[in-house]
Structure 1
């Protein structure tokens, strides 16, 4: 999916989606940040079409895409920006934002319910259940997998009413590649895992990790472990919790509360990096 940076002269912000959500789900966030002086864009993963419908209609285009390919895709896009951006990612997008930040790409990052990276050990049962649609078939490693409304309800919409969960599913859900989940599952047994992150290294730009207290897909145990890995000497790493929110916290009716808190954090840390 092609995406362009909004007009203006403010700090660029790049939004990175995760599995099963179309990048256009970031549109309210883009509009909020733009209204506050930032320049925003939300490029899709490789193979993601411009619309939800088109992506659903060609699932093979997004299949068999791994974390390294997706990270390189975003790094190439960012290299063409007029200034280094703030990176804001959700789920696997949050982990990719941390990978990019650790390599010197970006002036700050926000990882919202970020997928676990190499070295993060907690694996709660709810995470296993949320990702079972992929892991139940080893052949899904090289395929795109779609969620049913019930599966989306458990993995994303458990903290909202069923009616809202179903509406979010119809509005934003797309097929997603299975390979990133298999890469994450084997990360701690692989010396050169693609989900490795240069965590907590001295001089790393500021990082905010956001967790939803009711998240089934990325429970708070994972976010807290990521924070411990990222909270090294001579770096700024913050942890923010929304206790009553699930994995849909970036797109459901409470998105503005999360977005405003993230934007405030970014505003408090960007001047120090200028």
Structure 2
């Protein structure tokens, strides 16, 4: 469970087949954050306070991607299922003209959401994300095959107890340029380590993490009408800038901003620069 006080008060949303815990702070136009695999809302702990202070309501859920605290055994955890869960979350809270800010795996799910159910979305920030053939990216492409074996999630979460393992490319080493604080890593990894039900959720998602979902979403990019900002790490080791350039070419109203001195987890490596880009973009595309 996310534990950063900077994210605001803790709430729960009772959705179809899933209870989602989220943090809520600020007032004004809504900004909903979508994290990736094996992290939770704590990813946004250095972004949300400044965005909220600028006059926005920030909602940072713990999506069921392996670092959530409430098991969702009845939820559809395919990428389309998680995208539909986000759409239902927006509807449940009555949110409209929403800014979605997504990172890593959450960016892939957001692309699926845009292709399936964009009605409540006003604009999107993809802050380094899986896309096209890169879902999941190297070196994580074997995780879905690994997940087919019973006990695989338990083995993975036990190995990730060790800091030396956490800094390997197959863990956080190629995701963040600098080590993530131990307390935050613990917030990311403890739920799946401590709960067999959370590990079962993680395994169900991994079994369906396949590029066919992002490639299918991409076939419908031409119909996406909302503005999209791709914020990419120039040094990204998982998602080359060429993928961001491809997104910008294929989406009708898209722009690219590059960030220096960061890997994929831009909210960890360069939160101030990401916040600046989010605020500039939301002001540029504010609804009159």
| TM-score greater than 0.5 by the shorter chain | yes
Q: State the number of aligned residues.
A: 249
Per-residue deviation at 1:29?
1.8
Per-residue deviation at 1:239?
1.3
Distance 1:246 1:179, change over 3 A: farther
Distance 1:181 1:238, change over 3 A: farther
Per-residue deviation at 1:22?
1.3
1:97 aligns with 2:115: no
Give SS of 1:139's match.
coil
Distance 1:96 1:156, change over 3 A: same
Give the aligned partner of residue 218 of structure 1. Answer: 239
Per-residue deviation at 1:195?
6.5
Q: Aligned-pair RMSD on alpha carbons?
A: 3.5
Q: Distance in 1 between matches of 2:204 and 2:214?
A: 11
Per-residue deviation at 1:171?
4.6
Per-residue deviation at 1:95?
2.0
1:84 aligns with 2:97: yes
Distance 1:36 1:168, change over 3 A: same
**TM-score, normalised with respect to structure 1:** 0.74
Q: Could you report, residue by residue, the CA deviation over 1:195-236 in whole angstroms, capped at 9, with x for unpaired residues?
A: 632643346110011222332333333333333332xxxx31
Per-residue deviation at 1:100?
2.5
Give SS of 1:218's match.
coil
Q: Distance in 1 between matches of 2:45 and 2:88?
A: 22
1:138 aligns with 2:153: no
After superposition, residues 146-185 of structure 1 pair within 5 angstroms as 146=157, 148=160, 149-150=163-164, 152-153=166-167, 154=169, 155-158=171-174, 160-162=177-179, 164=180, 168-173=184-189, 175=192, 177-185=202-210
1:128 aligns with 2:133: no
- Stretches of structure 2 lacking an aligned partner (at least 5 in a row): 1-19, 193-198
Give the aligned partner of residue 277 of structure 2. Answer: 261
Q: Distance in 2 between matches of 1:138 and 1:26?
A: 31
Per-residue deviation at 1:240?
1.6
Q: Distance in 2 between matches of 1:264 and 1:185?
A: 33
- Stretches of structure 1 lacking an aligned partner (at least 5 in a row): 188-192
Distance 1:214 1:183, change over 3 A: farther
Give the aligned partner of residue 80 of structure 2. Answer: 68
Give the aligned partner of residue 190 of structure 1. Answer: none
Give the aligned partner of residue 250 of structure 2. Answer: 229
Check the 8 A contact 1:168/1:251 in 2, yes or no.
no
Check the 8 A contact 1:227/1:237 in 2, yes or no.
yes
